[in-house]
Structure 1
Amino acid sequence: MEMLRRLNDRVTKILLVLAALLAFLLCFLVVADVIGRGAFNSPVKGTTEIVSLSIVVICFLQAGFAIRSGGMLNVDMFVLMGSPRVQSVMACIAALAGLVFFGVICYGSWDGAMHAWTSNEFEGEGALRVPVWPARFIVVLGTFMASISYLLMLLQNIGLAIQGKPPATFSTTH
Protein backbone atom coordinates (compact mmCIF):
# COMPACT_ATOMS: atom_id res chain seq x y z
CA MET A 1 0.00 0.00 0.00
CA GLU A 2 2.90 2.35 0.70
CA MET A 3 4.14 1.96 -2.87
CA LEU A 4 0.65 2.79 -4.23
CA ARG A 5 0.48 5.85 -1.96
CA ARG A 6 3.87 7.13 -3.16
CA LEU A 7 2.93 6.51 -6.79
CA ASN A 8 -0.42 8.25 -6.33
CA ASP A 9 1.27 11.21 -4.63
CA ARG A 10 3.80 11.53 -7.43
CA VAL A 11 1.22 11.29 -10.22
CA THR A 12 -1.15 13.77 -8.53
CA LYS A 13 1.71 16.25 -8.08
CA ILE A 14 2.62 15.94 -11.76
CA LEU A 15 -1.02 16.50 -12.75
CA LEU A 16 -1.17 19.53 -10.43
CA VAL A 17 1.91 21.03 -12.12
CA LEU A 18 0.36 20.42 -15.54
CA ALA A 19 -2.84 22.15 -14.40
CA ALA A 20 -0.87 25.13 -13.09
CA LEU A 21 1.11 25.35 -16.33
CA LEU A 22 -2.09 25.23 -18.38
CA ALA A 23 -3.67 27.96 -16.22
CA PHE A 24 -0.54 30.09 -16.65
CA LEU A 25 -0.60 29.67 -20.43
CA LEU A 26 -4.30 30.47 -20.56
CA CYS A 27 -3.53 33.85 -19.02
CA PHE A 28 -1.48 34.75 -22.09
CA LEU A 29 -4.21 33.57 -24.43
CA VAL A 30 -6.88 35.62 -22.66
CA VAL A 31 -4.66 38.74 -22.59
CA ALA A 32 -3.91 38.32 -26.30
CA ASP A 33 -7.62 37.93 -26.99
CA VAL A 34 -8.50 41.08 -25.00
CA ILE A 35 -5.75 43.11 -26.68
CA GLY A 36 -6.78 41.78 -30.07
CA ARG A 37 -10.40 42.74 -29.46
CA GLY A 38 -9.64 46.17 -28.07
CA ALA A 39 -6.73 47.34 -30.19
CA PHE A 40 -7.28 45.60 -33.50
CA ASN A 41 -10.97 44.61 -33.41
CA SER A 42 -9.74 41.08 -34.11
CA PRO A 43 -9.96 38.59 -31.22
CA VAL A 44 -7.90 35.41 -31.11
CA LYS A 45 -10.00 32.79 -32.83
CA GLY A 46 -11.03 29.84 -30.70
CA THR A 47 -10.32 31.47 -27.33
CA THR A 48 -13.79 30.70 -26.00
CA GLU A 49 -13.55 27.02 -26.94
CA ILE A 50 -10.01 26.61 -25.65
CA VAL A 51 -10.79 28.32 -22.33
CA SER A 52 -14.03 26.40 -21.76
CA LEU A 53 -12.34 23.03 -22.31
CA SER A 54 -9.24 24.06 -20.36
CA ILE A 55 -11.25 24.96 -17.27
CA VAL A 56 -12.62 21.42 -17.15
CA VAL A 57 -9.12 20.02 -17.68
CA ILE A 58 -7.60 22.18 -14.94
CA CYS A 59 -10.29 21.18 -12.41
CA PHE A 60 -9.96 17.47 -13.01
CA LEU A 61 -6.16 17.49 -13.14
CA GLN A 62 -6.14 18.96 -9.62
CA ALA A 63 -8.77 16.72 -8.02
CA GLY A 64 -6.49 13.91 -6.86
CA PHE A 65 -3.99 16.31 -5.30
CA ALA A 66 -6.74 18.26 -3.55
CA ILE A 67 -8.02 15.06 -1.96
CA ARG A 68 -4.63 13.68 -0.89
CA SER A 69 -3.46 17.00 0.51
CA GLY A 70 -6.63 17.45 2.57
CA GLY A 71 -7.75 20.40 0.48
CA MET A 72 -11.32 19.26 -0.06
CA LEU A 73 -14.11 21.01 1.84
CA ASN A 74 -14.61 19.35 5.19
CA VAL A 75 -17.39 20.20 7.65
CA ASP A 76 -16.61 18.44 10.89
CA MET A 77 -18.65 20.28 13.51
CA PHE A 78 -20.49 17.16 14.68
CA VAL A 79 -17.75 14.67 13.86
CA LEU A 80 -15.36 16.30 16.33
CA MET A 81 -17.84 15.66 19.15
CA GLY A 82 -17.29 11.92 18.81
CA SER A 83 -14.49 9.75 20.12
CA PRO A 84 -11.36 9.23 18.02
CA ARG A 85 -12.77 5.91 16.80
CA VAL A 86 -16.07 7.55 15.77
CA GLN A 87 -14.13 10.26 13.95
CA SER A 88 -12.17 7.61 12.04
CA VAL A 89 -15.35 5.72 11.19
CA MET A 90 -16.89 8.95 9.88
CA ALA A 91 -13.73 9.59 7.85
CA CYS A 92 -14.12 6.07 6.39
CA ILE A 93 -17.71 6.81 5.42
CA ALA A 94 -16.68 10.11 3.82
CA ALA A 95 -13.83 8.42 1.92
CA LEU A 96 -16.18 5.66 0.75
CA ALA A 97 -18.69 8.27 -0.46
CA GLY A 98 -15.92 10.10 -2.33
CA LEU A 99 -14.66 6.84 -3.82
CA VAL A 100 -18.14 5.91 -5.06
CA PHE A 101 -18.85 9.45 -6.34
CA PHE A 102 -15.65 9.78 -8.37
CA GLY A 103 -15.77 6.12 -9.40
CA VAL A 104 -19.24 6.59 -10.89
CA ILE A 105 -18.09 9.71 -12.75
CA CYS A 106 -15.02 7.85 -14.04
CA TYR A 107 -17.10 4.91 -15.20
CA GLY A 108 -19.74 7.15 -16.76
CA SER A 109 -17.17 9.32 -18.54
CA TRP A 110 -15.37 6.48 -20.30
CA ASP A 111 -17.97 5.96 -23.05
CA GLY A 112 -18.12 9.70 -23.77
CA ALA A 113 -14.34 9.89 -24.04
CA MET A 114 -14.24 6.91 -26.39
CA HIS A 115 -17.05 8.38 -28.49
CA ALA A 116 -15.24 11.74 -28.71
CA TRP A 117 -12.12 9.88 -29.88
CA THR A 118 -13.78 7.61 -32.44
CA SER A 119 -16.15 10.25 -33.85
CA ASN A 120 -13.45 12.94 -33.93
CA GLU A 121 -15.66 15.33 -31.94
CA PHE A 122 -14.74 19.03 -32.00
CA GLU A 123 -15.82 22.15 -30.13
CA GLY A 124 -16.32 25.35 -32.12
CA GLU A 125 -17.09 26.29 -35.67
CA GLY A 126 -15.22 28.08 -38.41
CA ALA A 127 -11.57 29.08 -38.22
CA LEU A 128 -10.57 27.01 -35.18
CA ARG A 129 -12.10 23.75 -34.09
CA VAL A 130 -10.76 22.30 -30.85
CA PRO A 131 -10.79 18.51 -30.35
CA VAL A 132 -12.86 17.43 -27.35
CA TRP A 133 -11.30 14.01 -26.72
CA PRO A 134 -8.29 15.27 -24.66
CA ALA A 135 -10.60 16.96 -22.16
CA ARG A 136 -12.86 13.92 -21.98
CA PHE A 137 -9.95 11.56 -21.30
CA ILE A 138 -8.56 13.95 -18.68
CA VAL A 139 -11.92 13.80 -16.89
CA VAL A 140 -11.54 10.00 -16.84
CA LEU A 141 -7.93 10.27 -15.62
CA GLY A 142 -8.76 12.90 -12.99
CA THR A 143 -11.70 10.98 -11.58
CA PHE A 144 -9.66 7.76 -11.58
CA MET A 145 -6.88 9.47 -9.60
CA ALA A 146 -9.47 10.97 -7.24
CA SER A 147 -10.94 7.50 -6.70
CA ILE A 148 -7.51 6.07 -5.93
CA SER A 149 -6.89 8.93 -3.47
CA TYR A 150 -10.16 8.21 -1.69
CA LEU A 151 -9.41 4.47 -1.67
CA LEU A 152 -6.07 5.15 0.03
CA MET A 153 -7.80 7.39 2.57
CA LEU A 154 -10.41 4.73 3.21
CA LEU A 155 -7.81 2.03 3.83
CA GLN A 156 -5.74 4.30 6.05
CA ASN A 157 -8.74 5.32 8.15
CA ILE A 158 -10.06 1.76 8.48
CA GLY A 159 -6.80 0.85 10.19
CA LEU A 160 -7.03 3.89 12.46
CA ALA A 161 -10.68 3.14 13.32
CA ILE A 162 -9.75 -0.41 14.30
CA GLN A 163 -6.98 0.95 16.53
CA GLY A 164 -9.31 3.57 18.03
CA LYS A 165 -7.16 6.44 16.79
CA PRO A 166 -8.38 9.73 15.26
CA PRO A 167 -8.53 10.00 11.47
CA ALA A 168 -5.42 10.74 9.47
CA THR A 169 -4.75 14.21 8.18
CA PHE A 170 -4.17 12.54 4.82
CA SER A 171 -0.79 12.91 3.16
CA THR A 172 1.99 14.74 4.93
CA THR A 173 4.24 14.60 1.87
CA HIS A 174 2.53 17.52 0.12
Structure 2
Amino acid sequence: MPGVRARHMARHDLPRVIAIENEIYSFPWSPGNFSDSLEAGYDCWAFDDGSGALVAYAVVMWIPDEVHLLNLSVAAPRQRRGLGRAILEWVSADAARRGARGMLLEVRPSNLPALRLYERSGFERIGVRRRYYPAPDQQREDAWVLFRRFGAQAGQGEQGGHDSPEVGGMR
Protein backbone atom coordinates (compact mmCIF):
# COMPACT_ATOMS: atom_id res chain seq x y z
CA MET A 1 0.00 0.00 0.00
CA PRO A 2 2.52 2.61 -1.04
CA GLY A 3 1.77 6.21 -0.29
CA VAL A 4 -0.42 5.95 2.84
CA ARG A 5 0.61 8.34 5.59
CA ALA A 6 -0.71 9.07 9.07
CA ARG A 7 -1.36 12.59 10.28
CA HIS A 8 -3.47 14.25 12.92
CA MET A 9 -7.04 14.77 11.77
CA ALA A 10 -8.03 18.42 11.38
CA ARG A 11 -11.39 20.15 11.17
CA HIS A 12 -10.99 20.55 7.41
CA ASP A 13 -10.91 16.71 7.15
CA LEU A 14 -14.39 16.33 8.64
CA PRO A 15 -16.41 16.62 5.39
CA ARG A 16 -14.42 13.73 3.84
CA VAL A 17 -14.44 11.72 7.09
CA ILE A 18 -18.21 12.10 7.33
CA ALA A 19 -18.64 11.19 3.65
CA ILE A 20 -16.68 7.95 4.18
CA GLU A 21 -18.58 7.22 7.39
CA ASN A 22 -21.95 7.68 5.66
CA GLU A 23 -20.87 5.56 2.71
CA ILE A 24 -19.75 2.51 4.68
CA TYR A 25 -22.10 2.34 7.70
CA SER A 26 -25.85 1.94 8.03
CA PHE A 27 -25.63 3.75 11.38
CA PRO A 28 -22.73 6.21 11.00
CA TRP A 29 -21.23 8.49 13.58
CA SER A 30 -22.68 11.98 13.44
CA PRO A 31 -20.61 15.03 12.51
CA GLY A 32 -20.90 15.98 16.20
CA ASN A 33 -19.26 12.71 17.27
CA PHE A 34 -16.17 13.57 15.22
CA SER A 35 -16.16 17.23 16.21
CA ASP A 36 -16.51 16.32 19.90
CA SER A 37 -13.65 13.81 19.60
CA LEU A 38 -11.39 16.50 18.17
CA GLU A 39 -12.41 18.99 20.89
CA ALA A 40 -11.90 16.40 23.64
CA GLY A 41 -8.31 15.89 22.50
CA TYR A 42 -8.70 12.25 21.49
CA ASP A 43 -6.12 10.84 19.13
CA CYS A 44 -7.89 11.48 15.83
CA TRP A 45 -5.84 10.16 12.93
CA ALA A 46 -6.33 10.76 9.23
CA PHE A 47 -4.63 8.51 6.68
CA ASP A 48 -4.05 9.92 3.23
CA ASP A 49 -2.78 8.44 0.01
CA GLY A 50 0.18 10.79 -0.39
CA SER A 51 -1.69 13.13 -2.71
CA GLY A 52 -3.64 14.43 0.28
CA ALA A 53 -6.77 12.34 -0.41
CA LEU A 54 -8.08 10.95 2.86
CA VAL A 55 -8.66 7.18 2.59
CA ALA A 56 -9.08 6.12 6.23
CA TYR A 57 -9.28 7.42 9.79
CA ALA A 58 -9.12 6.28 13.39
CA VAL A 59 -10.27 7.76 16.69
CA VAL A 60 -8.60 6.61 19.90
CA MET A 61 -9.45 7.68 23.45
CA TRP A 62 -6.88 7.30 26.22
CA ILE A 63 -8.00 5.85 29.52
CA PRO A 64 -5.51 5.64 32.39
CA ASP A 65 -3.11 3.00 31.08
CA GLU A 66 -4.78 1.72 27.94
CA VAL A 67 -6.55 3.04 24.86
CA HIS A 68 -10.11 2.62 23.61
CA LEU A 69 -10.40 2.36 19.84
CA LEU A 70 -13.63 4.22 19.10
CA ASN A 71 -13.57 4.17 15.31
CA LEU A 72 -11.33 2.74 12.60
CA SER A 73 -12.70 3.07 9.09
CA VAL A 74 -11.39 2.64 5.56
CA ALA A 75 -13.03 4.15 2.47
CA ALA A 76 -14.99 1.51 0.54
CA PRO A 77 -12.71 1.44 -2.55
CA ARG A 78 -9.66 0.77 -0.30
CA GLN A 79 -11.20 -2.02 1.79
CA ARG A 80 -10.11 -5.69 1.67
CA ARG A 81 -6.51 -4.76 0.76
CA GLY A 82 -4.84 -4.89 4.17
CA LEU A 83 -5.11 -1.18 4.91
CA GLY A 84 -7.34 -1.66 7.97
CA ARG A 85 -4.88 -4.12 9.47
CA ALA A 86 -1.92 -1.84 8.74
CA ILE A 87 -3.71 1.08 10.40
CA LEU A 88 -4.71 -1.04 13.40
CA GLU A 89 -1.10 -2.13 13.86
CA TRP A 90 0.19 1.43 13.42
CA VAL A 91 -2.30 2.83 15.96
CA SER A 92 -1.51 -0.03 18.38
CA ALA A 93 2.25 0.49 18.07
CA ASP A 94 1.85 4.23 18.55
CA ALA A 95 -0.23 3.70 21.71
CA ALA A 96 2.18 1.08 23.08
CA ARG A 97 5.16 3.35 22.43
CA ARG A 98 3.38 6.08 24.40
CA GLY A 99 2.76 3.80 27.40
CA ALA A 100 -0.57 2.03 26.82
CA ARG A 101 -0.67 -1.54 28.12
CA GLY A 102 -3.44 -2.57 25.72
CA MET A 103 -6.38 -1.63 23.55
CA LEU A 104 -10.12 -2.03 24.15
CA LEU A 105 -12.84 -1.83 21.50
CA GLU A 106 -16.43 -2.74 20.76
CA VAL A 107 -17.54 -4.50 17.59
CA ARG A 108 -20.85 -5.73 16.21
CA PRO A 109 -21.04 -9.54 16.21
CA SER A 110 -22.55 -9.19 12.72
CA ASN A 111 -19.44 -7.38 11.40
CA LEU A 112 -17.56 -10.50 10.35
CA PRO A 113 -14.72 -8.76 8.45
CA ALA A 114 -13.94 -6.61 11.51
CA LEU A 115 -14.14 -9.61 13.83
CA ARG A 116 -11.65 -11.53 11.65
CA LEU A 117 -9.31 -8.53 11.60
CA TYR A 118 -9.39 -8.14 15.36
CA GLU A 119 -9.02 -11.85 16.09
CA ARG A 120 -6.04 -12.11 13.71
CA SER A 121 -4.53 -9.10 15.47
CA GLY A 122 -4.62 -10.76 18.88
CA PHE A 123 -7.82 -9.33 20.36
CA GLU A 124 -9.83 -11.51 22.72
CA ARG A 125 -13.47 -11.19 23.70
CA ILE A 126 -13.79 -10.04 27.30
CA GLY A 127 -17.44 -9.06 27.52
CA VAL A 128 -20.70 -8.03 25.91
CA ARG A 129 -22.51 -4.69 25.98
CA ARG A 130 -26.17 -5.58 25.58
CA ARG A 131 -28.20 -3.59 23.04
CA TYR A 132 -25.26 -1.25 22.40
CA TYR A 133 -25.64 -0.50 18.69
CA PRO A 134 -28.66 0.72 16.75
CA ALA A 135 -30.00 -1.84 14.29
CA PRO A 136 -32.72 -1.91 11.61
CA ASP A 137 -36.39 -1.67 12.54
CA GLN A 138 -35.78 0.18 15.81
CA GLN A 139 -33.89 -2.82 17.19
CA ARG A 140 -30.56 -2.86 19.03
CA GLU A 141 -27.53 -5.11 18.50
CA ASP A 142 -25.13 -6.24 21.20
CA ALA A 143 -21.48 -5.23 21.07
CA TRP A 144 -18.68 -7.63 21.79
CA VAL A 145 -15.99 -6.04 23.92
CA LEU A 146 -12.52 -7.05 22.79
CA PHE A 147 -9.13 -6.41 24.37
CA ARG A 148 -5.56 -6.81 23.18
CA ARG A 149 -2.68 -6.64 25.60
CA PHE A 150 0.42 -5.09 24.10
CA GLY A 151 3.65 -7.06 24.36
CA ALA A 152 7.08 -5.63 24.99
CA GLN A 153 7.73 -5.44 21.26
CA ALA A 154 4.40 -3.76 20.39
CA GLY A 155 5.81 -0.27 20.75
CA GLN A 156 8.98 -0.92 18.80
CA GLY A 157 9.79 -1.25 15.14
CA GLU A 158 9.05 0.82 12.11
CA GLN A 159 5.28 0.98 12.46
CA GLY A 160 4.69 3.24 15.41
CA GLY A 161 4.85 6.73 16.62
CA HIS A 162 4.57 10.32 15.69
CA ASP A 163 8.17 10.33 14.49
CA SER A 164 7.33 7.80 11.77
CA PRO A 165 4.20 8.71 9.81
CA GLU A 166 4.49 5.64 7.58
CA VAL A 167 1.77 3.07 8.04
CA GLY A 168 2.84 -0.58 8.11
CA GLY A 169 5.73 -0.08 5.73
CA MET A 170 3.55 2.16 3.60
CA ARG A 171 4.71 5.68 2.95
TM-score range (shorter-chain normalised) is under 0.3
What is the TM-score with the length of structure 2 in the denominator? 0.24
RCO greater where, 1 or 2, for CA within 8 Å and sep 6 or more?
A: 1
Q: Which has the higher strand share?
A: 2
